[in-house]
Amino acid sequence: MKQGRTLEQLGEELQRQREARQDFLSDTTLMDFKAEDNGRSFISLNMKGKTQTFAVNELAHQQIAQRLQIPYRYYQKMMVEQPDLLSENVNTWFHYAPERRMLRTLDGEVRAFLSDRYRRLDNLELCEAVLPIIRDMPGASINSCEVTPTHMYLKVVNKKLKAEVAVGDAVQAGFVISNSEVGLGSVKIEPLIYRLVCKNGLVLKDYTQKKYHVGRQVEGDGAYELYSDETLKADDKAFFMKVQDTVKVAADEAKFIMAVDKLKESMDIPLGKDPVKEVELLADKYQLNPNERGDVLRQLFMGKDNSRYGLLNAVTAASKMASSYERATDLERIGGEILAESLPKVREVINITPVRSLNAITA
């Protein structure tokens, strides 16, 4: 499992972001988009005679392009080769089809271009709601946590829920809490399997709980900065109470045992005679880059386990070498996808002898 910040460092960064962030609600006719020759772009907001200007980050560019139905590859081409044309395109659609949008900014950048119905459920408030629940769970600890430009993650392991997949190969139950402040998904609580022998995390596809960022449409004219108010706080309190209830039962023993049984089954599913081809198929299916393909193949050979269990462990082991914490979590989820795949039909009609070693291949 890839390590991020300490819990103390996470708290400090979330508090810093709380103080640095600004959120605005504005009609697009009051926005002015400017792309420059140096590759940078800016949005200026006209708020009651005052103008504030913010740089635009990559995610906000993607969201603007999607909202205006400009193909993103063409959007990028204009940004690099014809910035004035990009400015003209964006500003034309801002005025031709005006609508109210929420702009979330941090450290002088527009980090998200969202619907005016987007419900701001922020990372600091989420931590304040769930950390006391985790602290009171017998045997629970946060093994890894991080905040990235797009998500926050808390990865929790419950040491009291433990089982063996094979002799000497023990796993523990856990869960991942994640949230996006920039419109890239709901608050998620996903089951996690933590393998002690190699400290790998496997995020399970099944049983994931989600809470969506959808709220009331905010009324008002013009452009103005959004602040928390008592009504929103009351709504958020009810929402986070539901999240707390979900967290309390996230490390469910019955579901954990079912997952362990499935891991045991995966040990008896051979990959085939050519592990390299198996990894290539996996890489194509999940769009792994060349470095990730190499890391997975290397971990598969090192593990000397030519079974589905060996493959999913190779993927989760490779996650530690991922380029970012975000991508590491993606790979842990891919491991869960592999586990969730249906059993081969051939197992129903013939008795397959599992292939557990790659010694013959590596010799």
pLDDT of residue 245: 86
Q: Domain extents for the chain? A: 22-115, 123-214+227-252, 267-362
Q: Are strands 187-195 and 200-203 parallel, antiparallel or unpaired?
A: antiparallel
Q: What is the pLDDT of residues 17-66, one digit of tens each?
A: 999 999 999 999 999 999 999 999 999 998 877 899 999 999 999 999 99
Q: Tell me: pLDDT of 229 over 60.
A: no
Buried residues in 314-326 as b, exposed as e (16+ CB within 10 A): bbbbbbbbbeebb
Tokens of 266: 């995966």
Task: Name residue 56's amino acid.
Answer: V
What percentage of the chain reaches a pLDDT higher than 70? 86
* d(C-alpha 295, C-alpha 318), whole Å: 5
Count of beta carbons in the 10 Å neighbourhood of residue 13 = 16
**pLDDT confidence of residue 36:** 95
The pLDDT of residue 222 is 57
Q: Where are the alpha helices (DSSP H) in 69-119?
A: 72-81, 83-96
How many beta carbons lie within 10 A of that of residue 362, not counting itself? 10
Residue 18: per-residue pLDDT: 92
Could you tell me the strand order of the sheet in which 22-27 lies?
A: 31-35, 41-47, 50-56, 109-115, 100-106, 22-27, 224-226
Counting residues of the chain whose pLDDT is more than 90, the rounded percentage is 69
Asked whether residue 354 carries a pLDDT value surpassing 60, the answer given is: no
What confidence tier does 119 reach under pLDDT thresholds 50, 70, 90?
Answer: confident
More confident residue, 319 or 349: 319
* pTM of the full structure: 0.84
pLDDT at 289 over 50: yes
| 120-160 pLDDT per residue, tens | 888 999 999 999 999 999 999 999 999 999 999 999 999 99
**Does the pLDDT value for residue 220 go beyond 70?**
no
Residue 348 has pLDDT above 60, yes or no: no
* Confidence label for 341 from pLDDT (cuts 50, 70 and 90): confident
